[in-house]
Structure 1
Amino acid sequence: MHGMRTATVTRTTRETAISVTVDLDGTGRSDISTGLGFLDHMLEQLSRHSLMDLRLHAKGDIHIDGHHTTEDCALALGQAISQALGNRLGIQRYGSALIPMDEALTQVALDLSNRPFLVWNVPLTRDKLGDIDTELFKEWFQAFSQTGGITLHVATHYGENNHHIVESCYKGLAKALRMAWTIDPRQASQVPSTKGVLGSLGDSAPSA
C-alpha cells in the first residue's frame, strides 16, 4: 500500500563526496565507509537498532579534520530518510527511547514533524573518541535533524565513559526512529496531523 520506503542521495562538494541509500523497512544491514572509524561504528549501530538497511560511502578531507565529513554524512542521511518517508502518510510520527549502556543513561525523543529542531543536552568530557572530535557529535545530530525534518531532543541523564554516552545517543535515536516511522494500521491512509499535512522544511507556519 505504501510502496517501498527507500531513497538514494548523492552529495558532492569540494570537501566531500557521499552516497547514501536507505530502506526504512529493512533488517538492519549496513555497508558503511566514511574514513572515520568511530563514525562508522555509530552508523552501524543506527542501522542495526532501527532495522534500517543503510549503505553510506563517503570520501572527505579528513586530512584536515573530520568536521566536513561528519556533518555532510548527516546531511545526506537525513535527506535520504526524509525522501524515503515521502508524505509521511500513516506513520506513528512520534518516537522515544531510554537507553542504558553500562553506567550511562540517555533519553531520545523525536517528532517526524518536518520541522527541524535539535535540543542537545549531552555532556562530554573528552576531546576525541577514536579519530573524531567529540564536539562533532552535536554537529552530526544538528545536521541530521535539519535535512530529516525532525524535532529531536537528546539528553544524557548521567554517564562517565564518553564512548558509552555517545553510543547510547545513537542507539536511542535508532529505537526512536523505528517507533516513529512505523506505519499505524489505524491511520494508514492519513497524515498524522490535525491539519492534514506535516509542515515542510520551507514552511513559515508550523503544523500540528
Structure 2
Amino acid sequence: MRTATIQRTTSETDIRVELNLDGTGSYEVSTGIGFLDHMIEQLSRHSLIDLKVAVKGDLHIDQHHTAEDSAIAIGEALTRALGDRRGITRYGTAYAPMDETLTRVAIDISGRPYLVWRTEFSQARLGEMDSELFEHWFHSFAQAAGITLHVETLYGRNNHHIVESAYKALARALRIAVEIDPRKADAVPSTKGTLGGTGGNEIGDHGG
C-alpha cells in the first residue's frame, strides 16, 4: 500500500495527516475552518485517496497559517506515499462542471513544482474563509507535492461553485495521475529514469 503519515508542528500549527493513495475516498478532516474541511473532503472523495487531516492552528490570528500548512502537509504526504513514482501514470487532466461553472485542472507529477492559477472570485469570503487563501492553498500544495499544477475556471458566476469545481477537478486529475499504469508498472515515467527536482529553474532540470 502506498501510504504516508506526516506530523508537522510549528509555532503556528500542529498538523497530522494520514494518506493512502490506494484507498476508497474515505476521510476525516478537521482544520477548524468549516469551508476548508468541505473542500479537502471533496478532494479525498473524488480522488479515492483516503485522508485523515487534523489541524490545530492559530485561528485567533487569522486563517493563513492553517490553510497554508494543511496544504503543505497533504502535499508532503502525497509525495512521500508516491515514493520513487515507479509505475504511475504521471499526468492527469480533468474537467469538473458544477451547475453554471466549469473548471479544468491539468497536473504533472514531475518533481518540478509550479502553479498556474486562472481562477477569480467576486467576493472576499466564502463561508468563513478568505477567498484569497484558495490560490495560496493550491500553490502550497503544488510546492510540497512537487507537481506542476494548472487550474483554470473556464466560466462560472457562483463563487462556491467555482472553488468547489477547482477542488473536484484537482481530485479527478490526481486520481488519474497517481494510478499505476499496468503497461509500465516497473518503470519510472521519465526518459531521465527519475522524477525529482526543486522547481525547474536549474539547467538540465527540464524535460523528461
Amino acid at match of 1:35: G
- Who is 1:119 aligned against? 116
**1:135-180 C-alpha deviation (Å, 9 max, x unpaired):** 0000000000001000000000110000000000000000000000
Partner of 1:85: 82
Which residue does the alignment assign to 1:98? 95
RMSD of equivalent CA atoms? 1.0
Q: Are 2:20 and 1:23 aligned?
A: yes
In 1, are the aligned partners of 2:113 and 2:199 still within 8 Å (CA)?
A: no
Shift of 1:19: 0.3
Equivalent residues in 2 for 1:145-164, closer than 5 Å: 145-164=142-161
Q: How does 1:146-185 map to 2 (within 5 A)?
A: 146-185=143-182
Q: Alpha-carbon deviation of 1:202?
A: 7.3
The answer for unaligned runs of 5 or more in structure 2 is none
Q: CA deviation at 1:91?
A: 0.4
Give how far 1:125 is off. 0.7
Q: Residue 201 of structure 1: CA displacement?
A: 2.8
Quote the Cα distance in structure 2 between the aligned partners of 1:198 and 1:24. Answer: 18
Query: Which of the residues 31, 36, 39 maps onto 1:39?
Result: 36
Residues in 1 aligned to 2:192 and 2:24: alpha-carbon distance in whole angstroms: 33
- How far did residue 196 of structure 1 move? 0.9
| 1:118-137 paired onto structure 2 within 5 Å | 118-137=115-134
Which contiguous aligned blocks of 4+ residues in structure 1 show a shift greater than 2 angstroms?
A: 199-205
Work out the CA distance in 1 between the residues paired with 2:147 and 2:121.
23
CA distance in 2, matches of 1:12, 1:78: 15
- Aligned residue in 1 for 2:107: 110
Code of the residue aligned with 2:129 in structure 1: it is: I
Equivalents in 2 of 1:201, 1:190: separation in Å? 22
Give the alignment's TM-score, normalised by structure 2: 0.96
Matched residue type, 1:92: T
Q: Which residue of 1 aligns with 2:186?
A: 189
Distance, in Å, in 2 between the alignment partners of 1:199 and 1:114 is 4
Instruction: Work out which of the residue numbers 54, 60, 64 in structure 2 matches 1:63.
Output: 60
Q: How many pairs were matched up?
A: 205
Distance 1:199 1:7 in 2: 18
Moved more, 194-203 or 78-87: 194-203
Would you say 1:50 and 2:47 are equivalent positions? yes
- Are residue 6 (structure 1) and residue 28 (structure 2) matched? no
Taking only the aligned residue pairs, the percentage that are identical comes to 61
Give the structure-1-normalised TM-score. Answer: 0.96
Please, which runs of 5 or more residues in structure 1 have no aligned partner? none
